[in-house]
């Protein structure tokens, strides 16, 4: 395939509905969703995608019932520990980005350990956005930017966002039929191609990701120029 996206980002949505359809608790949807994460990572590695990022938990998701939040956080910790050998085997650099102020010390420890251990891997960069929101990111960046401005040492604004050094997403996928950004990468998605699918996240596996990539590959990105200019 030509025109592969360098950075694919996914708003993994529909776990709750997937579970409800089966008469199960929401957490079963999240557990099954973790299998989709594994499958999508595998395909990304196979296809030589450079960056795969996943919206796992938004700032607003802290407003969910306590037991669901606890379930999600322990699933996160469990997944990190379980997947670490796969990260090493597949040369995956693992990162977690977001507002850490509400995360437990223990989870932060697990995250940092996994990030340090995989920091020198040179294959796929896998980014999990946890306790992240676009407005949070822009706000924290603006605060630090203003401080550096006062000192006269401010650099590029982009470099203050928590995604510093990561190329903007080429393709954003949102599952479950919702067509909104839900406070995700507001700055970074300025020229991202959007792909919406009705498939619920736990059903989104390799064939579905392949279809999304194929659709992306057929699009013409113009970045404000005319079609003639970019040919
Ligand atoms: C996405 O699935 C996972 C998170 C937001 C944590 P949801 O839990 O939002 O599932 P629905 O949208 O209720 O079906
Ligand atoms: C967006 O899903 C956040 C994540 C997938 C982590 P939500 O389910 O929280 O979004 P809304 O509330 O439907 O917009
Ligand atoms: Mg949802």
pLDDT tens, position by position, 145-156: 999 999 999 999
The neighbouring-strand residues paired with 196 are 174
For residues 122 and 112, what is the distance between their CA atoms, to the nearest angstrom? 18
pLDDT tens, position by position, 60-102: 999 999 999 999 999 999 999 999 999 999 999 999 999 999 9
Task: Please provide the average confidence, as pLDDT, over all residues in the chain.
Answer: 98
3-state secondary structure of 146: helix
Q: Is residue 217's pLDDT more than 90?
A: yes
Residue ranges of E strands in 133-192? 171-174
Q: Is residue 231's pLDDT more than 90?
A: no
By most ligand atoms within 8 Å of CB, the mutation choice from 17, 27, 37, 64 for ligand 1 is: 17
Q: Which ligand is nearest to the CA of 131?
A: 2
State the average pLDDT over residues 117-126: 98
Look at residue 1 in the predicted model and tell me its pLDDT. Answer: 81
For residues 146 and 133, what is the distance between their CA atoms, to the nearest angstrom? 20
Structure letter (DSSP) for residue 199: S
Question: Which value, in Å, is the radius of gyration of the alpha carbons in the chain?
Answer: 18
Indicate whether residue 57 lines ligand 1 (CB < 6 A): yes
Q: Which ligand is nearest to the CA of 182?
A: 2
pLDDT tens, position by position, 29-65: 999 999 999 999 999 999 999 999 999 999 999 999 9
Q: What is the H or E stretch that residue 8 is in?
A: strand 7-11
Give the nearest ligand 1 atom to 30 CA.
Answer: 3
Band (15; pLDDT cuts 50, 70, 90): very high
pLDDT tens, position by position, 162-187: 999 999 999 999 999 999 999 999 99
- State the catalytic residue, choosing from 13, 110, 137, 170: 13
Using the Cα atoms of residue 176, residue 177, residue 182 and residue 187 in order, give the sign of their dihedral: positive
Look at residue 94 in the predicted model and tell me its pLDDT. Answer: 98
- CA dihedral 45→180→202→116, nearest 10 degrees, is 40
Indicate whether residue 178 lines ligand 2 (CB < 6 A): yes
More confident residue, 218 or 231: 218
26-47 and 66-89 helices, crossing angle to 10°: 20
Distance from the alpha carbon of residue 148 to the mean position of ligand 3, in angstroms = 37
Nearest residue by C-alpha to atom 14 in ligand 2: 182
Instruction: Tell me the pairing of strands 125-132 and 51-58.
Output: parallel
Q: What is the H or E stretch that residue 73 is in?
A: helix 66-89
The neighbouring-strand residues paired with 97 are 129
Domains within the chain, CATH numbers bracketed: 7-133+169-219 (3.40.1180.10)
Distance from the alpha carbon of residue 207 to the mean position of ligand 1, in angstroms = 21
- Catalytic annotation present for 61: yes
């Amino acid at each position: 395939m030509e025109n592969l996206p360098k950075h694919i980002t996914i708003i993994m949505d529909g776990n709750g509905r997937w579970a409800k359809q089966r008469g199960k608790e929401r957490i079963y949807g999240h557990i099954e969703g973790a299998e989709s994460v594994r499958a999508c990572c595998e395909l990304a590695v196979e296809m030589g995608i450079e960056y795969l990022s996943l919206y796992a938990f938004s700032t607003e998701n802290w407003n969910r019932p306590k037991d669901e939040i606890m379930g999600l956080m322990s699933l996160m910790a469990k997944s990190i520990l379980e997947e670490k050998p796969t990260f090493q085997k597949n040369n995956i650099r693992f990162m977690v980005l977001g507002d850490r102020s509400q995360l437990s010390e223990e989870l932060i420890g697990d995250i940092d350990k996994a990030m340090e251990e995989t920091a020198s891997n040179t294959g796929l960069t896998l980014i999990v956005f946890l306790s992240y929101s676009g407005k949070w990111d822009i706000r924290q960046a603006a605060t630090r930017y203003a401080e550096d401005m006062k000192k006269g040492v401010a650099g590029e604004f982009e470099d203050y966002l928590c995604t510093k050094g990561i190329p903007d997403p080429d393709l954003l996928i949102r599952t479950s039929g919702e067509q909104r950004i839900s406070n995700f990468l507001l700055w970074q998605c300025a020229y991202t191609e959007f792909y919406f699918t009705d498939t619920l996240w736990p059903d989104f596996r390799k064939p579905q990701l392949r279809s999304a990539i194929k659709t992306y590959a057929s699009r013409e990105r113009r970045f404000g120029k005319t079609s003639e200019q970019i040919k």
